[in-house]
Structure 1
Amino acid sequence: LIDERPEEVTDMQRNVKGEVVASTFDKEAHEHVRVANIVLDKAKRLVECGHDVVILLDSITRLARAYNTVQPASGKVLSGGVDANALHKPKRFFGAARNIENGGSLSIIATALTETGSKMDEVIFEEFKGTGNMELQLDRRISNRRIFPAIDLVSSSTRRDDLLLDEGTIQRMWVLRKYLADMNPVEAMEFINDKIKGTRNNEEFLISMNG
């Protein structure tokens, strides 16, 4: 947890079955960077020992802001006040995720802030957009309707999902996506929620789409 509220850190520590490492919003930027580096180094050592490690980072946007603050000025500034060299280290953090031959694996799940009204946040988001193997996009309009999970289904996707699913399931998924593409995000999520409630598992749900 980077640059989060102390009460959120406490809540996570009490309810999450895993190690919670945090640098709260009242800490300086160099402390955010130091904590992130410690977590990544520890994760790498565990992977080298054959463990499968998952880092959940909230958020890559705030980490990039911290790196931008501590980064010595290069003289080249992007729109939003982002130093041209400031995004290299957060990219290196996110890009550390991989599966090691004869070792373990490191998966990194990171959140990114969007539609904050900040040009800097927009630049950071665009730099990381499309770099992950999976993107799950949330929609404030859906959460405002108290529909959960508030997922924009059409904008969310997984790369190479053909490696994860069989041919029959892939075909049904494509049909479902084409059907959802004609709906707005709120209608799509309501439709999926209603259908899922009436079926016992994913297979039964996808088969019901044929009707």
Structure 2
Amino acid sequence: MNLAAIRAAMPSVEPREIVGTVIAVKGLVVVVDSLPLPVGSLVRVAVTTRREHPRGEVVGFDGPRALVMLLSEADGIGSGVKVIGERPIASIPVSRQLLGRVVDALGRPLDGKGPILTGTPQPLWPARTGPLERGVIREPLPTGVRAIDAFLTIGKGQRIGIFAGPGVGKSTLLGSIARGTAADVNVIGLIGERGREVPEFLENVLGPEGLARSIVVVATGDETPLMRVRAALAACSIAEHFRGEGQDVLLMLDSITRFAQAQRQIGLSAGEAPATKGFTPSVFALLPRVLERAGRLAVGGSITGFYTVLVEGDDLTEPIADAAKGILDGHIVLSRKFAERSHFPAIDPLQSISRVADQVSDTAHTQARRHVIRLLSAHREAEELLAIGAYQKGANPDVDAAVLMKPHIDQFLKQDRDERADYPRTLRSLIELSIAADALRPAAAQGTATVSGPTTGGTRPRR
């Protein structure tokens, strides 16, 4: 056997096509006979009546038959149609040419700015990062949002959820963070959004400044469940590529709930039995695999993940919200009551938590944060008594100080959509609030105290 001759001939050898045959279409799934490909393989269906062959992915098996979920509609597919294997490993091409672009789940441009010519294939399911390959989160990542930087300080490599019902400002908050963050690259996955909301987000929320250093992956609600799931995975893979180059990446997925709903549809179509509130077991198996992909490497860059979670009826205990809270490193709760009072961003600091805030903050910041949070908590506990005039001044020094400080704390927490808060100035203002509240405690009980609020120190970037 001449190995040198075999090696020389290999480039000219045509790969063998793996071809199966459609024998049934069941809902969203095409049943294919004689297609020995692994789960996750990409295929195309050779429909002669369509200009482009629809593509799909092997999602399971039923004996010798492969179950293929389509990336587009099943129009024109009939019994006996050939299904041809394309790639055994699902991937997306990634390069710096993606910056400032809007693409679909397959990496195809949607923005009309021309083709993306180069890219290194990045697997949608890369090898898992070992726990000892991860670095300890030690550095803060300023977001430009005062309420987050002061009370819920984010660390590079942290994963945090934004929990809210519809219409309380999730997307607007994401846009503010994307414009104001200190990260090198933003990767934004819009999963299951309404079609009309995508251009609104790009133009009005993200803006040209935010888009310039962002990559946006879109799968709207009218696309197939597989495209919605792949869009989330593609966003993760793109973020991992830039992290591998040593950059600090901000990954945003809006929303994890719609991603879970898409996976539920795939699971039910593949024959999974529904479990908690109709969600299949694969949903709860997939959530940690996706959310754990963010993080900081011991050697290299970081991915800081923001994941929005839709809560039905503002119920934070519904299955997806509950599962996500157990995986993430903290959560930001947007309050409908705050939104109804035109308090934006509608972040409720008492319901929200960042599990790494203390380890990325200095002592002065940590003490000031705890002091102001204690005042807010005291005020909320006494709210009903204050509303009906039943609270007796002097009964609780914290409440007395909180009553005087509350308007100034609220003013500190409010922020216009286009305002970017300077991180050092935010911390100084928080410490000023804490010092002012401390000075008020003796005078508040006597009713002689007055207070002036700190400067918030925001800047308005050009749009």
TM-score normalised by the chain length of structure 2: 0.41
Which of these residues, 385, 409, 417, is aligned with residue 192 of structure 1? 409
CA contact under 8 A between 1:61 and 1:112: conserved in structure 2? Answer: yes
d(CA) in 1 for partners of 2:327 and 2:407?
29
1:117 offset after TM fit, Å? 7.8
Q: 414, 425, 435: which one pairs with 1:207?
A: 435
- Per-residue deviation, residues 65-87 of structure 1 (Å, max 9, x unmatched): 11111123443x32210112222
Whole-angstrom CA distance in 2 between matches of 1:151 and 1:49: 33
**Deviation, structure 1 residue 141:** 1.4
Q: Distance between the aligned counterparts of 1:96 and 1:130, measured in 2?
A: 15
Relative distance call for 1:203 and 1:178 in structure 2 (3 A) is closer
Where does structure 1 differ by over 6 angstroms across 4 or more consecutive aligned residues? none
The one-letter amino acid paired with 1:5 is: R
Q: Give the corresponding residue for 1:78.
A: 275
1:50 and 1:103 in contact (8 A); partners too: yes
Query: Could you tell me which residue of structure 1 aligns to residue 227 of structure 2?
Result: 31
**Residue 94 in 1 paired to residue 298 in 2?**
no
CA, structure 1 residues 190+83, in 2 after alignment: closer, same or farther (shift >3 Å)?
A: farther
Instruction: Give me the whole-angstrom Cα distance separating, in 2, the residues matched to 1:48 and 1:138.
Output: 33
Identical counterparts, % of pairs = 29
AA of the residue aligned to 1:43: A
TM-score, normalised with respect to structure 1: 0.85
Secondary structure at the counterpart of residue 310 of structure 2: coil
User: Secondary structure of 1:107's partner?
Assistant: strand
Q: Deviations over 1:65-111 (max 9, x none)?
A: 11111123443x32210112222223211111111122111111001
The one of 355, 368, 386 equivalent to 1:159 is 355
SS at match of 1:112: strand
Distance of aligned partners of 1:99 and 1:118 in 2 relative to their CA distance in 1, 3 Å threshold: closer
Given the alignment, which residue of 139, 150, 161 partners 2:335?
139
Deviation digits for residues 40-85 of structure 1, max 9, x if unmatched?
A: 222212211222211111111111111111123443x322101122
- The 1-side partners of 2:272 and 2:413 are apart by 52
Structure 1 residue aligned with 2:375: 179
1-structure distance, mates of 2:246, 2:216? 21
CA distance in 2, matches of 1:36, 1:110: 11
Cα RMSD of the aligned pairs, angstroms, is 2.7
**Are residues 1:112 and 2:314 paired?**
no
Q: How many residues align?
A: 207
- Quick one: which amino acid aligns to residue 191 of structure 2? I
Is the 2:334–2:346 contact (alpha carbons within 8 Å) kept by the matching residues of 1? Answer: yes
Structure 1 residue 205 displacement after superposition = 2.7
Higher helix share: 1
Aligned position for 2:197: 8
Q: Residues 196, 41 of structure 1: CA spacing in aligned structure 2 closer, same or farther, 3 A cutoff?
A: closer
2:243 corresponds to: 47
Any idea what the Cα deviations from partners look like across 1:141-195, whole Å, max 9, x if unmatched? Answer: 110121212111211111132212222332232222222113349x798552235
Which has the higher mean CA deviation after the structures are superposed, 188-197 or 153-162? 188-197
From the superposition, tell whether residues 129 and 149 of structure 1 become closer, same or farther in structure 2 (CA, over 3 Å): same
Letter paired with 1:7? R
Aligned CA distance change for structure 1 residues 67 and 190 (closer, same or farther; 3 Å): farther
Please state if 1:128 is matched with 2:324: yes
CA distance in structure 2 between the aligned counterparts of 1:82 and 1:118, rounded to whole angstroms = 17
Would you say 1:59 and 2:255 are equivalent positions?
yes
Give the letter for the 2:309 counterpart.
A
Mark the CA change 1:190 to 1:138 in structure 2 (over 3 Å): closer, same or farther: farther
Asked if the contact 1:59–1:110 (Cα under 8 Å) also holds between the matched residues in 2, the reply is yes
Q: What letter matches 1:65 in structure 2?
A: Q
